[in-house]
A and B are shown apart, each in its own frame.
Chain A
Amino acid sequence: MNKGIILCWYFHLPSVTSDDEIIDAINYSIIPLLQSHFRTKKKFSIAITGSLLKRISEIDNSVLELLRALLNEGLVEILGSFYYEIYPPAVPLSYLKEHVKKDLTVKEELLGERPVSFYVPNFTWVSVLELILSENRYQNCLLDFENFKYSTNVQTWKWSTFNNLEMKTVLENKFMLKGEGNLIYYTEYLNYIFRDNFLVKRFCFGNNNVLHDQMKPEMVDEFVVDLFSQMNDNKFLTLCDDGDRINPVSYLNYEYFLEKLDEDICTFPGSVNSKEINKIELNYMPSSTISKHYEFWMKDIDSIMYKQLLDEVYLKMANCNCPDKKETVLELQDVYFFFWKTISRKKYYLKKLYELLNS
């Protein structure tokens, strides 16, 4: 089939979270999500960071058993991601590679599956990733086209985002109109699938959306009608977001949504490899982020300080041969310090970083 709906859910919990919180995530989100797809027999994909999957395997084996059962039934595609959730523009090349490799290794070991599609957390993309992923035999990558709005330096074309043509993105030499984000793009290295930002916001973002208003399943009906009205050849409507959008409040509507979908309309990112699908060729995929500025991530002095300390670690690591410390560095690159508003657990990371520098 050369069209479809790609459902993808992403999970990560930083290493500072307690086992109890992971158990909560398993019981409230992960298991209900897996069970709903098992029940409704609709395909989906899931990206659990390697570090979280490892912890899950140590806490509750039923998740892996469910995943294996879904794999056996051909209902799930396991996606790759980074080993921890990182902000790629702030991570040196060798560590980017390590995150990708380690995540692959964990998934192969625990699930017997080598992912061929990659989920970029926060859809923050650096162009060098294309080469890293290709080197690791990835074929597909999920991104968000809204993030590319400010990714190019074609300043004279900035006006194009505001005119009536509803230009959404300017990739190199390829304009992308609203709706063209649902097409498949490719370079010599990878196929690119773009999440439909508007649909996702309507579907599951925040608290006022199709999934969360439990008392209004008719919103699900309307949403499904709209989805199908947009289904054209070579178009893939991609709905992906953080997996904790599926939780006790949203679960019922999610299962109802799955029941409303035709049996074979749900598909995997991996399916876009098919020659049946017309894809649009790109020469280059520029770096992008959820906000136009790097400063969004490094917006406070605390983050700048932390980044400086990390830079010092990289220098020291380059000068010493201490592979045993690499795992700690990977852990410290987690976006937790840069992204989360609550500061109560930042000390965990700062302390570890300081100890590493002194060791």
Chain B
Amino acid sequence: MKILILTSEFKPYVWGGLGRYTNEVYNTIKDRCNVDVLNIPTYSNLFLEESISESDTIIETESGNKIVHFFRSDITSIFDSIHSQNNVSELIENIYSDVSVHFDKQYDIIFLQDYYNSLLALKFLLMNKTRKIISVIHLPLYSGFTYFDKPLSDEVHHYLESVMIRYSRKIIVPSKFAKRAIIQSHSINENSVVVNYHGSHFSEDSLVARPANKVLQILSVQRLTEQKGLMYLIRILKKLAESSIPFQWTIIGNGPKSDLFRKKITSEGLDKFVELLPFVNHDDIHKYYDSADVFISTTAFETFGFTIIESMSYACLSISFNNGSVNELIDNMENGFLFNTSEYDDIVDLIIDFNRNPEKYRLVKTNAITKAKSFCWEKNVERLLTLFEQESDE
């Protein structure tokens, strides 16, 4: 079976959960089938500092598989082109003619990640470079807090998402919440949408929940964007600082709000409690999970929650707002804690209680490991491969 992963994030040009997903899937299936990768980073401007020019094509080969990173300065203008009804077809044609020279075989399946490259995937299909498209929708358009509070540029997003859905044999989503969002906003048969939960990695050393640190170690791992509820973090941080408990909070992540976030923390006098790390290598991040007592997510909306499940796998006391798909990961008070966004003060009370009496929460932390283990990359990829095989047989 020959598969082409068409994505906008792939190592080392990774921005968030999508990049993590594609890497995990690739690493697991590369020895089992022929899989190439075409990575067209839509956030290419983030990587331009790393001596990548505006029109670079970087080609790697790994165990006979081809990985092409295609940088183009006009790639982000797909949205603008559609919005202003300019000739997006021409743009797609140009991109296709530049990338297709690197992919001379016919693929059984293009495995499309999210909507941005949907027109390009369609081009591959029309040019008979693939027989089928199977798509993953990581962040459906209407997976925000309410169906009726629509983001800007929703029309273009909706259009590209519709193209993706129309021409895909199957749509894979990372949660029941995401499935619901897709079915309700598109004319689609429920059977065409498959829930396939992402996986996590586990530390064998964390089989037994470890005792709490003397100085409470709190961890958050998230992009620094509005979606992730940054001001809630600051509110919680502030209230904790007013309590008498000794703590240290590590926040790992980067994003458009990084500078503002840093300034806010400094202006509130909270910097002595906080370590801000814009980036930690994926191979090293486990050390932070391993030493954390408490993990906090203040996400405003979520369609899976990688970092939440990772924190659970390291037996952190995992606390999150109950938004989006989070309640598919955490069973409140059983293996973690869920709060409504208006209850952010209660999170502080919980942390203080945990600090006073960590043993009380031992079972919750142990249960968290068990729950996290049910989210397994091997299971995810097995399901994926079964789906690919079923589709390529037809």
Contact = CB atoms under 8 A, between A and B. Distances in A.
Nearest to A343: B187
Contact of B260 (A35, A215, A251): A215
A214 B149 CA distance: 16
Contact of B229 (A29, A206, A214, A242): A214
B147 A215 contact: no
Contacts of B188: 344
A29 B145 contact: yes
A215 B226 contact: yes
A234 B321 CA distance: 43
B341 interface: yes
B152 interface: yes
Contact of A17 (B147, B186, B261, B340): B147
Given A245-B149, A247-B146, A248-B321, A344 B187 contact: yes
Interface residues on B, range: 35 or more
Given A21-B184, A214-B231, A344-B184, A242 B148 contact: yes
A242 to B, nearest CB: 7
B151 interface: yes
Nearest to A17: B147
Nearest to B229: A248
Interface string B288-331: 00000000000011000000000000000000011100000000
Nearest to B298: A248
A55 interface: no
Contact of A32 (B155, B226, B341): B341
A206 B152 contact: yes
A28 B146 contact: yes
A27 B340 contact: yes
Nearest to B151: A207
A244 interface: yes
Nearest to A30: B146
B342 to A, nearest CB: 4
A252 interface: yes
Nearest to A242: B148
Interface string B163-205: 0000000000000000010001111100000000000000000
B340 A32 contact: yes
Given A206-B152, A215-B226, A215-B264, A24 B341 contact: no
A29 B340 CA distance: 10
B235 interface: yes
Contacts of A347: 187
A75 B323 CA distance: 28
A208 B186 CA distance: 27
Nearest to A12: B148
B264 A244 contact: no
Contacts of A249: 145, 226-227, 229, 300
Interface string A325-359: 00000000000000001111101000000000000
A35 B344 CA distance: 12
A344 B323 contact: no
B180 A18 contact: yes
B17 to A, nearest CB: 18
Centre residue among A21, A35, A208, A242 by max chain B CB count within 10 A: A21
B317 to A, nearest CB: 22
A20 interface: yes
B145 A207 contact: no
Contacts of B301: 248
Nearest to A28: B145
B6 interface: no
Interface in B208-234: 226-227, 229-232
Contacts of B323: 28, 248
Centre residue among A28, A245, A341, A343 by max chain B CB count within 10 A: A28
Given A35-B342, A251-B341, A341-B155, A244 B180 contact: no
Nearest to B188: A344
B239 interface: no
Interface string A237-276: 0000010110111011101000000000000000000000
Given A18-B180, A207-B152, A212-B226, A342 B185 contact: yes
Interface of A: 13, 17-18, 20-21, 24-25, 27-29, 31-32, 35-36, 206-208, 212-217, 242, 244-245, 247-249, 251-253, 255, 341-345, 347
6 contacts: A35-B342, A215-B264, A248-B229, A249-B227, A342-B158, A345-B184
Interface of B: 144-149, 151-152, 155, 158, 180, 184-188, 226-227, 229-232, 235, 257, 260-261, 264, 300-301, 321-323, 340-342
